[in-house]
Amino acid sequence: MKTNDQEGHGGHLINNASYYQTWSNYFVRFFEEYSKNGVTFWGVTMQNEPVASSSFQSMLFNSSQERDFAKNYWGQTMRSNPTTNNLKLMILDDNRQRVTDYTDTVFNDTDSSKYIDGCAIHWYNDDATRPESLTTTHEKHPDKFLLYTEACNEGGVKPGQWSQADNYMKHIMPVLQNWVVGWTDWNLCLDPRGGPNWDNNFVDSPIIVSNTSNEFEKQPMYYALGHIAKFIVPDSVMIANHISGLNSNTKQLIESIAAVNPAGQKVIVINNRDVATSYPVSIVNKKGAVLNLNLEASSFTSIVYSD
């Protein structure tokens, strides 16, 4: 069904209506088989990393191809089947610098946009574009959600390294401030090598499980995710927090985000990225009450309070 006649190494879907429809039908069949076993799903993306010619299973879709596949085959097929008609359908599923191209191409076409709920994003090249670009996308397409669907620290397991957790925090915090509704870790848990992975693509994970005993280790990344997920719970709303008294250097080391949770409480999550220095800070609520804290070096701190 692919132009390169291989499972991996990119290649496009053969430009033939029967192949496009067959591929759409395959999605439905996948979910139908799981449904027979009582397994339900929330959403699905059209294609993982559609610009990557990976050695593992991969297929190329440029933004125009995703637009045409959505409106002519995939969207209609998914919405017309009772097993898949309520799934959240997402485009892209690739790095942030491609968000503008794919969202504008697909969402500016009424016939394709009506089938698609949101845009899936990976974090692997976030530094290529500023997170504020996501706010621009939201403002252009406010009825579509932005969801980070894959992230991990690459290069195998690095046991106990705080920098791995800090890397999570420095990527998660700014995107949550720019209309991203969630952030998904690629791996719930891995073995001490960073697998299993048939393509030897070994990476890191918040939880490492022993191959030889009934033991597991929670890494610093686990706690980074916990400081976000435990306190900024579903249906929370991100809000601004006003920071003063920091010089330009310290601003790069003390990062924070704020939200209001469904109970109406304020939540502040702070990352002290400085590996050597602790900092005193004061949290002031809207009534002027003050909470004084000392942020230890290389630390995460979460505060939940009511005004």
State the CB neighbour count (10 A cutoff) for residue 234: 9
- Nearest-angstrom CA–CA distance, 270 and 213: 36
Per-residue b or e along 84-118, where b marks 16 or more CB atoms closer than 10 Å to that residue's CB: beebebbbbbbbbebbbebbebbbebeebbebbeb
Ramachandran region, residue 3 (left: φ > 0; alpha: ψ -120 to 50; beta: rest): alpha
**Which single residue is written with the structure tokens 């190494």?**
9
Instruction: Tell me the β-bridge partners of 208.
Output: 190, 217
Token code pair at residue 187 = 């791996």
Residues with catalytic roles: 49, 150
Q: What is the CA radius of gyration of the chain?
A: 22
Strand order in the sheet with 43-45: 43-45, 88-95, 118-122, 145-150, 180-183
Residue ranges of E strands in the chain: 43-45, 88-95, 118-122, 145-150, 180-183, 207-209, 216-218, 237-239, 254-260, 266-272, 279-284, 290-295, 299-305
